Each structure stands twice: as C-alpha cells, then as structure tokens.
C-alpha cells in the first residue's frame, strides 16, 4: 500500500495535469473569443453598409423626380 506521502504526491501530480489542461483550454477559448469578436465586428460593418444603401434607396424614391441630392451628406 502507498504511504500517505505517496498518495499526496500522486494527487498533486494529477491536480497539476488538470490545471495545465484547464490553462490550455482557457487560452484556446480566449483566442476563439477574440476571433468571433472580430468576425462580429466585420458582420456589423457589412450590415451597416447594406442598411445605408437601403436608406439611400428609400430616400431617393421618396424625392420628387429631378430633385435628387447632389451628395451623400444631403440624404441625412
């Protein structure tokens, strides 16, 4: 049978392995989170572009013919 010291030593080694595994998983999750955040920002920019295009289209349709704004800033 193992002595108490041997059992403690083995338990500490197991804990060390679990801690290292958790640290690795945590780093991977942080990296994935950063990538997802960057992708979400890109998606928001893309959606913003389409929303702006839709807004401009709707505003042009609402104007009487021949009175289109001369610059994008006049739409707002």
Structural domain count of the chain:
1
The confidence score (pLDDT) of residue 46 equals 86
Q: Are 73 and 67 in contact (CB under 8 A)?
A: no
> b/e string for 18-55 if b means 16 or more Cβ within 10 A?
eeeeeeeeeeeeeeeeeeeeeeeeeeeeeeeeeeeeee
Domain of 61, in residue numbers: 4-75
The confidence score (pLDDT) of residue 21 equals 98
The confidence score (pLDDT) of residue 45 equals 87
Tell me the per-residue pLDDT of 14-73, one tens digit each, with 9 for 90 and over: 999 999 999 999 999 999 999 999 999 999 988 887 788 888 878 888 877 666 555 555
Looking at per-residue pLDDT, the higher value among 56 and 13 belongs to 13
């Amino acid at each position: 049978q193992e002595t108490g010291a041997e059992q403690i030593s083995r338990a500490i080694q197991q804990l060390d392995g679990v801690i290292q595994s958790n640290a690795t998983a945590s780093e991977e999750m942080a990296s994935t989170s950063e990538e997802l955040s960057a992708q979400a920002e890109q998606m928001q920019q893309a959606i913003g572009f389409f929303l702006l295009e839709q807004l401009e289209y709707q505003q042009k349709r609402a104007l009487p013919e021949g009175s289109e704004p001369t610059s994008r800033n006049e739409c707002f």
